[in-house]
Structure 1
Amino acid sequence: MLKFKVSAASAFLILVPIIIFHIWRFIVPAIEVQNRMFSRVTIISAVILFYSGVAFVFFVLLPAAIKVMLSFVGPEMISTIGAEDYLSFIIFSCLIMGILFEVPVIILVLTRLGLISPQFLINKRKYAIVIIWIIAAIITPQPDPFSQSLVGVPLMLLYEISILISKIVARRERRKLNITKN
């Protein structure tokens, strides 16, 4: 079962850009010419952000989490982390953080569609921060503030970047609207 999980996770990570590319190639004939560049940038950004989330897990979150988990093992105790449990933890963490790192792209698309505004994001910032820290508490396996901060702080930065992106997109949409009215 362990070999299957490793194979499936590896295949998923390798095939995501290829699958997205083929979906885009299928959809592109239906997209207006002026929106093709936007869709291209959105897809490339989504792939980059997903892999950034996976890299964040591998190079920042996992080493810190393992160090903290192993610190709970005393000198007379033996660590019994099984390979399958460890792999499940890695896959779960990579998938969740990859998806959470997509927040700026989701906000970009929702702003472009006119479903949310930068002011809405600013007004709901308090709630977003609470939700981010709840997610950080759920994702991290240990209850210490350091581990939760490793997840919470980057997610807060992504939310703030999302607000900035939303402002830029909303400003461009207003300019386009003013140009077409005149």
Structure 2
Amino acid sequence: MPLLQDFAALFVRFRKNLLYLGLYILLVSVIAFPFTGDVIMRMSNDLLPQQKYSGELYQLIQTQPLELMMLELKLSVIAGVIAALPVVFFYAYRFLAGRQFGDRFRISGPKLLLATAVGLVLFIVGCLYSYWLMLPLVFEYLLTSSLAAGVANSWKVSDFVNFAVMTTAVFGLVFELPLAMTVLARARIVPAWVFRKYRRHMYIVILIVAALVTSPDVLTQIMVGIPLIIFYELSLLILRFTAPDNRPPAEEKASGQ
């Protein structure tokens, strides 16, 4: 397959650069490790409500001797990967800009930069929405509802941080849906009419994805699934103005009937 051969050639060409990239991630991770404790404290102050009522509303605990240290190590690696993303985007641009993929489409440099910029903005907006708006409301509801039922809140610090990071990342990706659908439609990989025709099927897929990428509680799955459906409908609206329909004659006749 030509595409796999291209990626194999890319790996051979940049394998030394990939080694440097790995060392860069390691260096940033080592530098970031001493500050991860402050990051965890900041997350608890930002996302969890203030202590109130008589006694404590919640308590973050560790259940294993190395739980907090392993969590801090994971956060430092995440910081290293995030710091390396500009380098990864640079390599991706050098590989993709101006490349022809079969007879379907050709990737132009300016359009690739525009798509990357739009995707970055959408991802950041999604993360901010999750971190500053959705997660504080979710945690306050979970904590106060359990307190009202007479249940104490003692959460593993790793579960709390993993849930917050995963949910924030998922919402960042959710906000990418309009861009992804527009790119697929304009590249004629998935015509715009297919997204509209199989709307109900996509609803089922969205609910399955929401169940797979979130914790096994219904509230979180709903809070991920509903925005996905809303963004899917918003993407369909955007496609009316940004991508041609390209409906086959048989489909146009069937839709007309």
Q: TM-score, normalised by structure 1?
A: 0.75
Moved over 6 A (4+): 31-34
Matched, 1:12 2:81: yes
Distance 1:29 1:136, change over 3 A: closer
**Higher mean Cα deviation, 49-58 or 135-144?**
135-144
Counterpart of 1:81 in 2: which secondary structure?
A: strand
Aligned equivalents of 1:65, 1:140: Cα separation in 2: 13
Aligned equivalents of 1:30, 1:85: Cα separation in 2: 43
If asked which structure has higher relative contact order (CA below 8 Å, sep 6+), I would say 1
Q: Bigger radius of gyration, 1 or 2?
A: 2
Return the letter of the residue paired with 1:118. A
Shift, 1:4, TM fit: 0.9
Q: Indicate conservation of the 8 Å contact 1:17/1:47, yes or no.
A: no
Counterpart of 2:147 in 1: which secondary structure?
A: coil
Match of 2:92 in 1: 23
Match of 1:151 in 2: 224
* Alignment match of 2:181 (pick from 100, 103, 107): 107
Computed over aligned residues only, the root mean square deviation of the Cα atoms, in angstroms, reads 3.0
Return the letter of the residue paired with 1:16. L
Matched, 1:169 2:242: yes
- Aligned-pair identity in percent equals 24
Matched, 1:95 2:164: no
Distance 1:65 1:13, change over 3 A: farther
Match of 2:160 in 1: 86
Q: TM-score, normalised by structure 2?
A: 0.56
Q: Indicate conservation of the 8 Å contact 2:127/2:169, yes or no.
A: yes
Counterpart of 2:154 in 1: which secondary structure?
A: coil
Distance 1:149 1:51, change over 3 A: same
Match of 2:116 in 1: 43
Shift, 1:159, TM fit: 0.9
Distance 1:54 1:13, change over 3 A: farther
* Alignment match of 1:129 (pick from 203, 216, 237): 203
Counterpart of 2:243 in 1: which secondary structure?
A: helix
Return the letter of the residue paired with 2:188. G
Match of 1:177 in 2: none
Shift, 1:33, TM fit: 9.4
Q: Indicate conservation of the 8 Å contact 2:146/2:153, yes or no.
A: no
Q: Indicate conservation of the 8 Å contact 1:136/1:148, yes or no.
A: yes
Aligned equivalents of 1:88, 1:33: Cα separation in 2: 39
- Which structure 2 segments of 5+ residues have no match? 1-69, 247-257
Residues 38-87 of structure 1 show CA distances to partners (whole Å, capped at 9, x for unaligned) of 21111112222222222222122311221222122357543111211111
Counterpart of 2:88 in 1: which secondary structure?
A: helix
**Higher mean Cα deviation, 6-15 or 41-50?**
6-15
Distance 1:34 1:125, change over 3 A: closer
Residues 133-179 of structure 1 show CA distances to partners (whole Å, capped at 9, x for unaligned) of 344455265424xx555333322232123223333333399xxxxxx
Shift, 1:114, TM fit: 0.9
Return the letter of the residue paired with 2:141. V
User: Between Structure 1 and Structure 2, which shows a larger proportion of helix residues?
Assistant: 1
Distance 1:29 1:122, change over 3 A: closer
